[in-house]
Structure 1
Amino acid sequence: MDELIDILNSEGNYTGQTALKSEAHLNGLFHQTIHVWFYTEHGEVLLQQRGKNKSTYPLKWDVSVAGHIGASESFELGAIREVEEEIGVSITSEQLDKIGVFKTEKRHSQAFFDREFNHTFLCLLDKKLTLIKQESEVEDLKWLSLNEFEGWVQEEHPDLVPNSENRYQFIISEIKSRL
């Protein structure tokens, strides 16, 4: 879905401009996204298999929930909205544990230059909750033990979205520090 998003400069500051998400990707304009990593008190992490019709990394396993922050929307509200949309779970801003903002730049094709500031959160989740995947975005959901996920990362599992700057290791370390 194309949506209006705020445009940032290369330092992550608001420019006062907005654009459609498709325009931002076409022209390589910096914008904000959220990543929410769900984990359990027993050391499991929720992975999302990206939908088969996604323009990038279709059917690859990735962060629990990710999405774009709408124009004038706070990153907390964007995270809450995306979690509700993608996995059908209601959370509050108090449950979100922000662990960083990461600048990423990836040219997927001539017409898709993704330049984002990813607001990244951890969120403790009760595994007994019913997850309802958004059919248009999410192919499947899977709980992995942190050890199994770490194994995937170390072996550069072919079904895992490639990630840079040891980001997956950082996520694993941050979750372990909360257990």
Structure 2
Amino acid sequence: MAGEKEIIDVVDENDNIIGRASRVACHIDNSLIHRGVMLLLFDSTNRVFLTQRGENKSEFPGALDASVAGHVRSGESYEQRAERELQEELGVSGVELKKVGKFNCFTASERAIEGVFACKFDGELVLGEAASGKFYTLKEAGDAIAFGNATPWLEGGWKLFKQFWLKEQAREAREREKQRAKRVAAQKDLTKNVVT
């Protein structure tokens, strides 16, 4: 079984590495906190691609899930794992990942610190392990997640993403305003030079 051979870092509640264990051991012994990663992939119209977990999954079969998600292997960074999951599960590489943040995802069967990333991509997606997937508007995604059949890491990651999204929108609005102010100032200078 792959999970028995997959070695992941065990961490404390502050995300400091304190040991190593198999993925299976981390799911059996709920005192072992480990690292997970999830990524939300958006297209240029800001629709998010969410997947449906296969019915054969041992945890949360059939649940709505992130674009990609996985356990961070020992010695791997959150970002390295996100890049690898993106390539393995959707066939996407070479895109810029934005770090959204981290949160504690503690459930009855798992205790993980989840690293959350987002990216934009408009090309073809090739589904790996997921049973299916589709693009949702932000409202549709929020409604589907709130409906209650989502993985706990998607629920927590979505909350974190919404905070990130609001900050990004405010940052982009400030940047647009700066650019507009520069254009107005340049136009005034041009008009001033023409008049004199």
TM range (shorter): 0.7 to 0.9
**Residue 68 (structure 1) aligned with residue 71 (structure 2):** yes
RCO higher in 1 or 2 (8 Å CA, sep ≥ 6)? 1
* Matches of 2:61 and 2:133, distance apart in 1: 14
* Matches of 1:164 and 1:76, distance apart in 2: 17
Query: Among residues 13, 28, 33, which one is paired with 1:26 in the alignment?
Result: 28
Normalising by structure 1, we get a TM-score of: 0.82
1:48 maps to amino acid: T
2:78 maps to amino acid: F
* Matches of 2:48 and 2:10, distance apart in 1: 31
1:131 maps to amino acid: L
Structure 1 contact 6–70 (Cα < 8 Å) conserved: yes
2:28 maps to amino acid: L
1:54-86 deviation digits (Å, cap 9, x = unpaired): 111111111111001111112111111111111
Structure 1 contact 45–143 (Cα < 8 Å) conserved: yes
* Matches of 1:162 and 1:104, distance apart in 2: 7
1:117 maps to amino acid: I
RMSD: 2.1
Over 3 Å counting, the alpha-carbon distance change for 1:173 and 1:40 in structure 2 is farther
**Residue 146 (structure 1) aligned with residue 106 (structure 2):** no
Structure 1 contact 122–175 (Cα < 8 Å) conserved: no
Percent identity of equivalent pairs: 30
Over 3 Å counting, the alpha-carbon distance change for 1:148 and 1:164 in structure 2 is closer
Over 3 Å counting, the alpha-carbon distance change for 1:164 and 1:97 in structure 2 is closer
* Matches of 1:142 and 1:71, distance apart in 2: 31
1:51 maps to amino acid: G
Deviation at 1:10, TM superposition (A): 2.3
Structure 1 contact 39–175 (Cα < 8 Å) conserved: no
Q: Which has the higher helix share?
A: 2
List aligned pairs for 1:64-143, cutoff 5 A: 64-92=67-95, 95-107=96-108, 113-126=109-122, 129-134=123-128, 137-143=129-135
Structure 2 contact 38–153 (Cα < 8 Å) conserved: no
Q: Which has the higher strand share?
A: 1
* Matches of 2:51 and 2:60, distance apart in 1: 12
Q: Which runs of 5+ in 1 are unaligned?
A: 108-112
Q: Which runs of 5+ in 2 are unaligned?
A: 173-196
* Matches of 1:139 and 1:165, distance apart in 2: 19
Over 3 Å counting, the alpha-carbon distance change for 1:12 and 1:60 in structure 2 is same
* Matches of 1:121 and 1:138, distance apart in 2: 18
Deviation at 1:163, TM superposition (A): 6.1
Structure 2 contact 105–153 (Cα < 8 Å) conserved: no
Which structure has the larger Rg over C-alpha atoms?
Answer: 2
* Matches of 1:118 and 1:163, distance apart in 2: 7
1:84 is paired with a residue whose SS is helix
Structure 2 contact 50–133 (Cα < 8 Å) conserved: yes
